Amino acid sequence: MTSICLYFQIHQPIRLKNYTFFQIGYDHQYDDVQLNYQILNKVADRCYLPVNALLLEMIKKHKGKFKVAFSISGVALEQFVQYRPEVITSIRRLVDTGCVEILSETYYHSLASVYSPEEFTKQVKKHRDTIKYLFDIEPTTFRNTELIYSDAVAQQVADMGYYDTILAEGAPQLIENDDASFVFKAGETDLHLLLRHYKLSDDIAFRFPDQSWEHYPLTPEKFAKWVHTLDGKADTINLFMDYETFGEHKGAETGILEFLRNMPEAVLDNENFSFLTPAETVKAYKAKQQLDVPSEITWADAERDLSGWNHNHMQKDALKKLYGLEALVKESKSREFADIFGRLQTSDHLYYMSTKYWNDGVRQTFSPYKSPYDAYIIYMNALSDFEQLVKSTL
């Protein structure tokens, strides 16, 4: 028996306004409230609400045989509560079916697991408390920001004592693609490790509307046929992707929603296949082997490492200044400052500064800035003001 583990990441950053040098010392509001409101509402209308409704329809249609998992950043949940509470209600309806698992992650979608173990633990606890409050769930599966994973990250998560499962990218430098389709032991910990099948995941998340792709158009039947070739060769095929793939990154006009609607039925036509959540998956199969990952891997870019956030001088400078403020924020004992510090850690701020692939439009698609240099200047101005603000209270 082979199972499909379908997991969606939901994240919307709180973007910064055009904060100039001349505002330092006077304006302590950094967020672009109007832009965040507009984007959240647009994506809610194009993706979150219609696709949540579609998933609920599919779960009912398949009478419990179709299952999914979600990880939702704390900053996205904040915006749902503030701007579109009906998104929270629709997620609760999904959870109530018993066919949806909610995962843990860092509240602020940060890089803290790499740069500050103490901050990492705080943010995971904050996210965990939020999930408990909103959905009455205590997650047992952890998904780090951008699937950042290493032996050190696994140990930090294991030491928290909340989790028995962690997700990671089935990076080609780590393991062959189809060889990722098993449960693994996460290094020296007692955690189970599930690896993303990046080829099949990216066939949906990236290649689906590409008319130059040799397999275009991708139909549910064609995709199911690829999946079914792994019958007897895999335990779990882990399809991990951004939820915004459906309706936002790929508009409904591409046929992506109809693909999602019909894909489970095509897969389930083979009685040797089922859908399981991550928590169910690790109970269904024994770990194939221990997997050691000494260096960080992620699901970002072709390199699948941390270079999307720390490869150039701007990013390194910003990270040094950012985490250099941690001791000051801690000394202030201010919850407000701790929250601002957390928001400034959101990985998107560093990603916008990346000069990798900027000219081919990859970064430009998601960045609210004209260039990586604008992103850096605006961010550093905000950091400078925040540093002055915190110091003024000590």
The amino acid that residue 158 corresponds to is A
Instruction: Give the chain's radius of gyration (CA, Å).
Output: 21
Q: At which residue do the structure tokens 């859908």 appear?
A: 275
CB 291 within 8 A of CB 193: yes
Cα–Cα–Cα angle for 18, 19, 20, rounded to 5 degrees: 110
End-to-end Cα separation, the chain, in angstroms: 61
Residue 124 to residue 107: CA distance in whole angstroms: 6
Burial class of 206 by CB neighbour count within 10 A (0 to 12, 13 to 18, 19+): middle
Give every CB contact of residue 105 below 8 A, 6+ residues apart in sequence. Answer: 71, 73, 124, 127, 142, 143, 144, 145
SS3 103: coil
| Both structure tokens of 272 | 């040797």
Residues tagged active-site: 146
Contacts of 137 by beta carbon, 8 Å cutoff, 6+ apart: 95, 102, 131
Kind and range of the H or E run holding 394: none
